[in-house]
Every structure is written in C-alpha cells, then in structure tokens.
Amino acid sequence: MSEFYTSVHLDKDLCKGCINCIKRCPTEAIRVRNGKAVIKKEYCIDCGECIRICKNHAKLATTDSMDNIHKYKYVVALPAPSLYAQANNLDDVNIVLSALKEMGFDDVFEVSAAAEVVSLLSRRYIEENKDKWPIISTACPSVVRLIRVRFPNLVEHMMPIRPPMEIAAEMARKRAIEKTGLPSKDIGIFFLSPCPAKVTSVKSPIGYEKSNVDQVVAIKDIYPKLISAMTHVVEQNKVEELSQSGKIGIGWGRIGGEAAGLLTDSYLAADGIENVIKVLEDLEDRKFSKTLSFIELNACTGGCVGGVLQVENPFLAIVKLKGLRKYLPVAKIHEAPPDIHPEWTQDVEYLPVFKLGENMVESLNMMNQVDELCKKFPGLDCGSCGAPTCRALARDIVRGAANEKDCIHILREYIHKISDEFSHL
Amino acid sequence: MSDSLKLQYVISDEDFTRAGEASGDVKAKLKMMGVNPEVIRKVSIAMYEGEINMVIHANGGVIDVIITTKDITMILKDKGPGIKDVDLAMQAGYSTASENVRALGFGAGMGLPNMKKYSDEMNIETEIGVGTTVTMKVYF
C-alpha cells in the first residue's frame, strides 16, 4: 500500500469541473485539470469535505460491500457509536445490535466498548506524560494525517494509542477465534463506518503496521436494510442482550465525548476541519497554557455523527445520542484486557509534502517567483484556472504543473494584445 | 536568481484579531522551504511575541523579514513610546501593560524575555517618544 492511500475519489463522468470542491478543500489538494477535478493524494487527508460540497455527487468514498460477508466463514460487525444516533426513537442499543445479526453477521462487537478501554488507557497515558501536554487525540484519522503533513512540531503530542475501532477489532477477533476455533483468515471483521478517513486508516494505518479490520462498510449503505432488520427483530421478539458499553463509550460518537471519558476539566474539544486547523496553528505557536492536558479534535462538525457517510443531521444525532445514554451506567468496562496491544508500534514522521523545492536555495528562488507571479494575478481567487487561489496557481506554475495563461485574466490580456497586433498588420 | 526572500508586514493596532497574521505567514513560508521544524517553532514564537508587543505597546508598526538559506532576520520597527529601561523590560514578569490588555490574557511580562530566549541574536534600539526597533535573528 502506498504511503498516500486515499479513500476519497472522483467519478469522472459526474464531475462537471466546477470549483466547489477546490475551494472547500482544507489542504488545497484538488485542482481542476481539463475540466475534471484531480486529487493530489499526498495532500489529501480524507476529511470528506469535497464529498459534502459536491452537488453532482462526483466525489465518492471507496468503501467495501456488505456482500463481502460471504468471503468469510464467520463475520463480526463493529458498529461505530455514531450508528446508534441514526435511527429514530431508539431507546435500546440492543435493537441495533440484534438487527445486525439479523442482517447476516454472526456476532457484533461494539466500538463503544473498546472506546471505554481507550478512555482508561488514555487517562493513564496523560497522567504519565505531563511533559507532552497537551496530548492530542488520535481517534480521528483525518486529524492524524493533517498533523503528519502540516504540523511537524505537534507530532510528539499525539496520543500513541490505537483508536477504538482497532481495539474493538482485536478484541472481536480474539473472541471469534475462541468461540469458533477457526483460523484468523476465516474471520471477517467489518467496521461500519461514518467516514472515508476510517477506510483510509484501515488500508494505510499511521502509528501501527496493520489494521485488524478486514472490511469497511459505509453506514449509509447498510442503513435501509438495518432499519427494516430493526423493525423485524422487535416484531419477532428477537432482541438479544448484546450491549457491552456505557455512557462513556457511546459518548465517543460526538465531539467532546472522548474528552468526557477522561474525567477531567482540563481539555479542549474542537470540531469542523477549519476550526481544527486554527487550534493546531495556535497550539504550534504555544498559545495554550501548560495546564491544558488534552485536546480532542474531530474533522467533522459535531464529531463522528457528522461524518459524510452518515444519514442523520449531526445535530439531531447528538440529541439522540444523549437520549440513548441517559439510563446507561457510566462505563461497563473498568479494566483493559491484559492480552491486547493498544500502543502504537511505529514512529510517526513529519512528511513535508507542501515543501516547494528540493533544497533551501531552490525553495527560496521558487518562493520569490511565486511572489512575482502573484503580483501579476488579479488576486480574486476566482478558481477559474482550476487552483483554489491565485497563490496556489503561482505555486503550481513554479512547480511546473500549470501555466500562466491558465489564469483567464492573464489570457484575456494576452488575447487583447495579439488581436491589437493583428489589427495593426 | 535571488539569494534572499524579503517580506514586509504592516502591523495595525486597530484590530487585535489580526495580531499573529504576520508570524503565521512567515511560519507557513518556512514550512514550504523545508526549514527544520524546531527552528520554525523558535521563529514563530519569537516573531509572534514581537508582533503582539507592537500591537499592545506601540500602536502597531512595520516588520521587515529577510530570509536567506542560512538564517532569518526580523526587524520590528514601531513609532511607539519607546522603552524607558531596557534592562528592566528584559526581566521576566515585568510589564507595563494596561488592565485591558491583561484582561485579554496578555501582559504577563514575558514578551521581550521570550523573544530573546527563542531568537539566536537580538538587538533593541529605542528612544523615548520616537520608537523602538527590535532586530532578531534565528539561524537555520
């Protein structure tokens, strides 16, 4: 797998070459070339903003099909906690979990249960690593990717613990092997995902070598079937007692939930990718007090309930999650299982993908050229050239990936000039 | 072919929310050059402190930045009241900031000490009633 796998991709036939996605992308990863959007993989952090904004539905997330359950002898569903917030009037998580079994899964393992394990381990890590305060959450893969390419000084602040999805997958696989005696390869672990970034973190993890998840299915893809299966299990009285998580675990589905699980007031929680970037910029400039212990950042507004593969309005989803958590115990898991491997096993290195030149001399020259070019451009950031801003176009030109006449204003001047010359012939 | 990049920022005292834009821009440029992250951290902390100082104490001013392949020089020039006692101002915790400014969380008396701490060379020229010029240099 390449270092820059991305789940977000383009359906060329649907793309009209408009400028909505290039303007929305927080890392300026998209250009329109020859009338179609092109994603620079090394810049993309899979936040899904372009999927959200594209009116032509030309931006898609690569996910796996539910049909893949037939490829395994025993399949386990891992529902993200935000899944529970997608259904109306749900008062019992067990209905969702039983419905997943009804849909063909042999077992379910709640990611929210593993989240309680991660909460426990995080509390310990934060306490033991005061020199690295504030510790930044690594549960949102887009945030991890963003830090890796843009915030070199914050890499060491990242929480080196695998996300709940991974812990759930490891625990689920162990349980499946114990239960069935099957070899690992015959067991299929299916994560039901709110976002494309989770797909990417499975195909190309950061901080650990290999994911324990085998397939990632979009919540929106299973939604219609899930709703009818839920009705069915209720009508047929087939609701089983399967839930293993409490308030803390399920709270992870929305912004502030992870922080709440740390049982401290000394945290900051920010959601929405632009807000996340602002927090990281200020953090890098040391604008935060040293007493701040933890920073939770979610690329999507509202947290995971705001993922682009969700169905429900994120704010309504938050209301539903609150209602659902009301009568649950604070946590159902109070001890980390001794046989799991929660820590990151690989160092994460800063990747300067936005660097201009090969060396300082070259970079300095290129930067001067960018400034010169910017003086020529109108500064409207109109996007007609296919780059999100005039400055981005200037950088593309200096990198050799675009031409001055891609700017329609410069092109117009040029045409005026040659038509004048013609008329004087 | 030019062996340096010259930047100029006009620092306005009218809009406090804009304080930090200049140091933010320099930070972004240094990242694009591939400068060592630890050096970038020093530069952005030192320059941000200076920028805020200009807004708080000196009604803004002008920052000239010269980046070469070896170092960065930041010249912060203001037409503010000048610094009465430079040695005192360099002491950690000493501040003449108003209550208003302190209420915003600034004025802890760490501005100049931090600028000195995070730059490799620093020079202050100041004259009462005329203004102050702080020159900072950080080596790559």
Q: What does the alpha-carbon distance between residue A43 and residue A52 come to, in Å, rounded to a whole number?
A: 18
Give the chain A residue nearest B4 (alpha carbons): A364
Specify the pLDDT at position A120. Answer: 95
Q: What does the alpha-carbon distance between residue B5 and residue A315 come to, in Å, rounded to a whole number?
A: 47
**pTM exceeds 0.95 for this model:** no
Both A129 and A31 in a single domain? no
Is residue A350 a part of any domain in this protein? no
Specify the pLDDT at position A1. Answer: 44
Chain A contact set for B32 (CB, 8 A): 354-356, 363, 367
Specify the pLDDT at position A300. Answer: 98
Both A53 and A131 in a single domain? no
Is residue A309 a part of any domain in this protein? yes
> Edge-to-edge strands of the sheet including A74-79?
A107-108, A74-79, A187-193, A215-218
Q: Which two tokens stand for residue B6?
A: 């010259």
Give the chain B residue nearest A152 (alpha carbons): B37
Q: Which residues pair with A193 in a beta bridge?
A: A218
Give the CATH fold of the B4-139 domain. Heat Shock Protein 90 (3.30.565)
Chain B contact set for A354 (CB, 8 A): 31-32
The alpha carbon of A307 is separated from its chain's Cα centroid by a whole number of angstroms, namely 8
Is residue A336 a part of any domain in this protein? no
Give domain limits for chain B.
4-139
What number of H helices and E strands is found in chain A?
15, 11
The alpha carbon of A168 is separated from its chain's Cα centroid by a whole number of angstroms, namely 18
Chain A contact set for B31 (CB, 8 A): 150, 152, 352, 354-355
- Average pLDDT of every residue of chain B: 89
According to DSSP, the β-strands at B71-78 and B61-68 are antiparallel
Q: What does the alpha-carbon distance between residue B79 and residue B77 come to, in Å, rounded to a whole number?
A: 7
3-state SS class at A31 = strand
- A240 at the B interface (CB within 8 A)? no
Contact (Cβ atoms closer than 8 angstroms) between residue A420 and residue A64? no
How many domains does chain A divide into?
A: 3
Give the chain B residue nearest A353 (alpha carbons): B32
Residue B2 pLDDT grade (very low, low, confident, very high; cuts 50, 70, 90): low
Both A26 and A97 in a single domain? no
State which residues form the domain around A385. 355-425
Give the single-character DSSP code of A158: B
Query: Residue A65's closest CA among A203, A214, A199, A221?
Result: A221
Which residues does B contribute to its contact with A (CB < 8 Å)?
Answer: 1-5, 20, 23-24, 27, 29, 31-35, 37-38, 40-41, 44-45, 48, 67-69, 140
Higher pLDDT, B11 or B56: B11
Both A306 and A366 in a single domain? no
Specify the pLDDT at position A299. Answer: 98
Q: Is the pLDDT of residue B98 over 90?
A: no
- A361 at the B interface (CB within 8 A)? yes
Specify the pLDDT at position A2. Answer: 53
DSSP code string of A344-388: --S------TT--SSSHHHHHHHHHHHHHHHHHS------TTSSS
According to DSSP, the β-strands at A267-271 and A294-298 are parallel
Both A146 and A266 in a single domain? yes
| Amino acid found at A106 | D
Q: What is the dihedral of CA A132, A134, A139, A145, to 10 degrees?
A: -80
The alpha carbon of A80 is separated from its chain's Cα centroid by a whole number of angstroms, namely 13
CB contact under 8 A, B32 and A153: no
Both A88 and A55 in a single domain? no
CATH number of the domain encompassing residue A52: 3.30.70.20
Q: Is the pLDDT of residue B58 over 50?
A: yes
Shortest distance between the Cα of A351 and any Cα of chain B, in A, equals 10
Mean pLDDT by 10 residues, chain A (425 residues): 81 96 97 96 96 96 97 98 93 96 98 96 96 96 97 95 97 97 98 97 95 97 96 96 94 96 93 97 82 96 97 96 88 87 94 92 94 96 97 97 95 93 87
ipTM score of the complex? 0.83
How far is residue A206 from each of residues A1, A46, A388, B111, measured CA to CA in Å?
Answer: 12, 13, 28, 38
Both A50 and A70 in a single domain? no
Both A81 and A127 in a single domain? yes
Residue A15: φ, ψ to 5°: -70, 125
Both A52 and A179 in a single domain? no
Helices of type H across A183-331: 196-203, 219-235, 247-251, 257-260, 273-284, 314-325
